[in-house]
């Protein structure tokens, strides 16, 4: 009885065909959670670009006006504080994800030939992002940028 009902729905909706093509798709053997962190890093960098572009319109790069322009953006513009905090926390997450991805690459020894070009490109991008992080900390000209 149930098999007949399932066959009737399958004939009309194509559930088994959908299951065979999309859900029962075999995954690669080596796929695990550690492969996620490269993509998460790229996602956080995209968030950095979007929120940084928003904050670019309100930032005044002068020592006596930088801190005030950040305060004005946070307190007087729509979603200014949200954009600043998303920018700040995604920068921290990006560094964490880069570090985890770096450890994964070292553990899997994916830096060896023929992937050494990927390794050097990723290492260069990581260093560039750390430099961006350092300059981003200094930009507000507040106590945190002075002591760090």
Residue linked to tokens 């065909």: 17
The class (CATH top level) of 32-147 is mainly alpha
| Extents of the domains making up the chain | 32-147
Q: pTM of the predicted model, to two decimals?
A: 0.73
| Residue 38, pLDDT score | 87
Q: Which residues contact 91 (CB under 8 A, 6 or more apart)?
A: 44, 48, 133, 136
Q: Which residues contact 139 (CB under 8 A, 6 or more apart)?
A: 59, 61, 66, 145
pLDDT digits (tens, 9 = 90+) for 1-18: 778 887 887 888 787 888
pLDDT digits (tens, 9 = 90+) for 32-85: 888 899 899 999 999 999 999 999 999 998 888 988 999 999 999 999 999 999
Higher-scoring residue by pLDDT: 56, 21 = 56
Q: In which element (H, E) is residue 55 found? A: helix 36-56
Would you say the C-alpha torsion 66, 129, 31, 28 has a positive or negative sign?
positive
């Amino acid at each position: 009885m149930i098999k007949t009902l399932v066959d009737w729905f399958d004939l009309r909706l194509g559930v088994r065909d959908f299951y065979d093509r999309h859900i029962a798709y075999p995954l690669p053997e080596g796929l695990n959670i550690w492969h996620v962190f490269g993509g998460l890093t790229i996602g956080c960098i995209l968030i950095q670009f979007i929120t940084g572009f928003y904050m670019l319109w309100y930032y005044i790069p002068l020592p006596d006006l930088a801190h005030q322009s950040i305060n004005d953006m946070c307190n007087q513009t729509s979603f200014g504080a949200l954009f600043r905090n998303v920018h700040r926390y995604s920068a921290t997450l990006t560094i964490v994800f880069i570090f985890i991805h770096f450890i994964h690459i070292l553990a899997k020894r994916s830096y060896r030939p023929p992937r050494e070009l990927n390794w050097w490109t990723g290492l260069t991008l990581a260093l560039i992002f750390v430099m961006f992080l350092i300059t981003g900390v200094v930009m507000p000209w507040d106590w945190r940028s002075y002591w760090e």
